[in-house]
């Protein structure tokens, strides 16, 4: 009880005692009786004061005791939980050694098969180029043309880039509108030659694709992309990443079963990995590719379509195939706009407002992403038709993942080189 409160109560008690004495005095009582009444009233007030004060003190002490008991109980529970966690941590560390070894064994086996296939493809083409066309030329094979020599050199550069782990992954942000907050990333793969120069896909695919090397390269880079996603997920960086997957990967009878087994062991990546195909590739998929896509969907993985050439989509088919995103070029999307009675509409859906297109796809569980956004004017137009996501250099160019992260997901040093067969040389 505060000092001021005590002073006020004392004053109140004196006032009551004096009031009682004055009441008796005005009633004709003598002075002694008045003084006795004042003292009696004062004694009663003090008695009540002491009783209330003791009650409040005991109540406060009881609460403090309860708090101490609760704190003690929580401390005991925390000690028990800590001891239990320490025991579990020790068990996990013991099992992690074994689990990590098995995990590396699975990944190394996949890499071994992929690189062996890549090496065999390279060696087969080199053997074809160096083969003698006829018996008369057995002693002196025809010299290679300049174009063939350049192709061999480029293929060897790709081969060495894979052997020496000069494979970089670039990420480009996909943002929400209008906040421009990064929600997803799209991944791109790049190879580097011995000098560190980045090889763009258009440069080496022109040679690798006719020689049948693209499937092996696609598979290896796809596997590497998932490794990076898993590495980021371990750092609690839960963000979606679009990874390109080709039809050749989906129908590869050697790669895909192993890749499926690898994903099955990492189902926690289902919310972080979105497999992306081109619209034409999706339309050209066969029964095997569709079946393998369905198996990925059963694990919880989703799909995206890019390289859209027509936005008149079969939404029921996309929903059935677990396609959850479509990336439409900003120019293509905005070129479809037209004005009808002062309202924006789409050329192939003239009877609905242009802003309802994204909502229409959303009813099928599909989000629209406007890609290749290069200027602010496009952003304004995209917002007018209520597209919620965008991608392009305006929001950020593709940037390489830190080298340290790449090193942590790389295969053992020298492993890829050891799996490649000896390279034949032309006599």
**27-31 mean pLDDT:** 70
pLDDT in tens, 383-395: 988 899 999 999 9
Closest to 175 (Cα-Cα) out of 400, 394, 391, 382: 391
Which percentage of the chain shows pLDDT scores above 70?
68
The model's confidence at residue 379, banded by pLDDT at 50, 70 and 90, is very high
pLDDT in tens, 102-145: 444 444 455 445 555 555 555 555 555 555 454 444 445 556 67
Instruction: Kindly state the tokens that stand for 262.
Output: 């690898």
pLDDT in tens, 33-71: 777 777 777 777 777 777 777 777 788 888 878 777 777
In sequence order, which residues have a C-beta less than 8 Å from that of residue 29 and are 6 or more positions away? 37
Task: Return mean pLDDT, the chain.
Answer: 75
Instruction: Kindly state the tokens that stand for 394.
Output: 């305006």
CA distance 106 to 217: 19
For residue 220, pLDDT beyond 70: no
For residue 78, pLDDT beyond 90: no
The model's confidence at residue 402, banded by pLDDT at 50, 70 and 90, is low
CA distance 267 to 301: 8
Instruction: Kindly state the tokens that stand for 340.
Output: 């009808």
pLDDT of residue 143: 67
**225-242 mean pLDDT:** 74
Give me the sheet containing 337-340, strands edge to edge: 337-340, 343-346, 349-353
For residue 177, pLDDT beyond 50: yes
Which percentage of the chain shows pLDDT scores above 90?
22
Alpha helix positions (H), 252-343? 255-264, 279-284, 287-298, 315-320, 330-335
Q: Return the beta strands (E) in 193-301 as ranges.
A: 198-199, 240-244, 273-278
The model's confidence at residue 219, banded by pLDDT at 50, 70 and 90, is low
pLDDT in tens, 321-368: 999 999 999 998 888 766 666 666 666 666 666 678 888 899 999 999
For residue 408, pLDDT beyond 60: no
pLDDT of residue 239: 77
For residue 187, pLDDT beyond 80: yes
CA distance 293 to 313: 19
Residue-range domain boundaries for the chain: 3-80, 146-411
The model's confidence at residue 377, banded by pLDDT at 50, 70 and 90, is very high
Q: Which residue has the higher pLDDT, 3 or 198?
A: 198
Q: Which residue has the higher pLDDT, 109 or 378?
A: 378
CA distance 84 to 90: 10
**Fold for the domain defined by 146-411:** TIM Barrel (3.20.20)
**369-390 mean pLDDT:** 92
What values do phi and psi take at 333, rounded to 5?
-65, -45
Enumerate long-range contacts of 374-383, CB under 8 Å, 24 or more apart: 374/330, 378/330, 378/331, 378/334, 379/177, 379/178, 381/334, 381/337, 382/177, 382/330, 382/333, 382/334, 383/177, 383/178
pLDDT of residue 158: 77
The model's confidence at residue 314, banded by pLDDT at 50, 70 and 90, is very high
3-state class (DSSP) for residue 422:
coil
Closest to 371 (Cα-Cα) out of 332, 323, 331, 330: 330
pLDDT of residue 204: 76
- Do residues 220 and 161 touch, judged by C-beta distance below 8 A? no
For residue 176, pLDDT beyond 90: yes
Q: What is the residue whose two structure tokens read 């020298």?
A: 414
CA distance 210 to 151: 11
What's the farthest any 2 CA atoms get from each other in the chain? Answer: 156
The model's confidence at residue 263, banded by pLDDT at 50, 70 and 90, is confident
**221-238 mean pLDDT:** 71
pLDDT of residue 326: 97
Please classify residue 35 by burial: count the beta carbons closer than 10 Å to its beta carbon, then call 0-12 exposed, 13-18 middle and 19+ buried: middle
CA distance 167 to 288: 30
Q: How far is CA 69 from the centre of its chain?
A: 44
pLDDT in tens, 195-212: 888 887 777 777 766 666
pLDDT of residue 1: 56
């Amino acid at each position: 009880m505060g000092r001021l409160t005590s002073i006020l109560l004392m004053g109140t008690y004196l006032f009551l005692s004096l009031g009682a004495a004055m009441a008796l005095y005005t009633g004709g009582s003598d002075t002694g009786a008045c003084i006795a009444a004042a003292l009696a009233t004062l004694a009663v007030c003090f008695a009540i004061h002491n009783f209330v004060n003791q009650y409040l003190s005991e109540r406060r002490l009881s609460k403090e005791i309860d708090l101490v008991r609760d704190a003690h109980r929580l401390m005991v529970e925390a000690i028990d939980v800590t001891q239990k966690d320490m025991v579990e941590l020790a068990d996990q560390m013991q099992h992690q050694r074994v689990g990590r070894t098995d995990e590396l064994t699975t990944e190394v086996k996949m890499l071994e098969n992929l690189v062996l296939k890549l090496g065999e493809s390279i060696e087969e083409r080199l053997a074809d180029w160096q083969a003698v066309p006829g018996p008369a030329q057995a002693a002196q094979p025809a010299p290679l043309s300049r174009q063939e020599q350049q192709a061999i050199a480029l293929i060897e550069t790709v081969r060495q880039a894979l052997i020496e782990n000069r494979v970089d992954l670039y990420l480009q942000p996909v943002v929400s509108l209008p906040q421009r907050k990064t929600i997803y990333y799209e991944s791109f793969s790049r190879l580097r030659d011995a000098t560190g120069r980045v090889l763009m896909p258009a440069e080496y695919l022109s040679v690798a694709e006719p020689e049948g090397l693209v499937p092996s390269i696609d598979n290896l880079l796809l596997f590497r992309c998932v490794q990076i996603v898993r590495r980021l997920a371990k750092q609690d960086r839960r963000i979606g990443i679009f990874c390109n997957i080709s039809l050749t990967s989906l129908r590869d009878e050697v790669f895909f079963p192993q890749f499926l087994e690898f994903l099955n062991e990492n189902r926690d990546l289902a919310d972080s990995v979105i497999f992306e195909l081109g619209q034409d590739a999706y339309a050209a998929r066969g029964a095997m590719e569709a079946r393998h896509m369905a198996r990925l969907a059963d694990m919880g993985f989703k799909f995206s379509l890019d390289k859209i050439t027509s936005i008149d989509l079969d939404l029921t088919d996309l929903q059935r195939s677990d396609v959850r995103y479509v990336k439409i070029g900003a120019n293509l999307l905005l070129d479809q706009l037209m004005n009808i009675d002062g309202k924006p509409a789409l050329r192939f859906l003239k009877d609905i407002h242009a802003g309802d297109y994204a909502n229409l796809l959303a009813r099928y569980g599909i989000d629209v992403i406007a890609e290749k956004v290069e200027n602010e004017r496009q952003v304004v137009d995209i917002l007018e038709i209520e597209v919620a996501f965008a991608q392009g250099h305006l929001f950020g160019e593709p940037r390489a993942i830190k080298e340290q992260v790449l090193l942590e997901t790389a295969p053992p040093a020298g492993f890829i080189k050891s799996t490649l067969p000896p390279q034949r040389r032309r006599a």
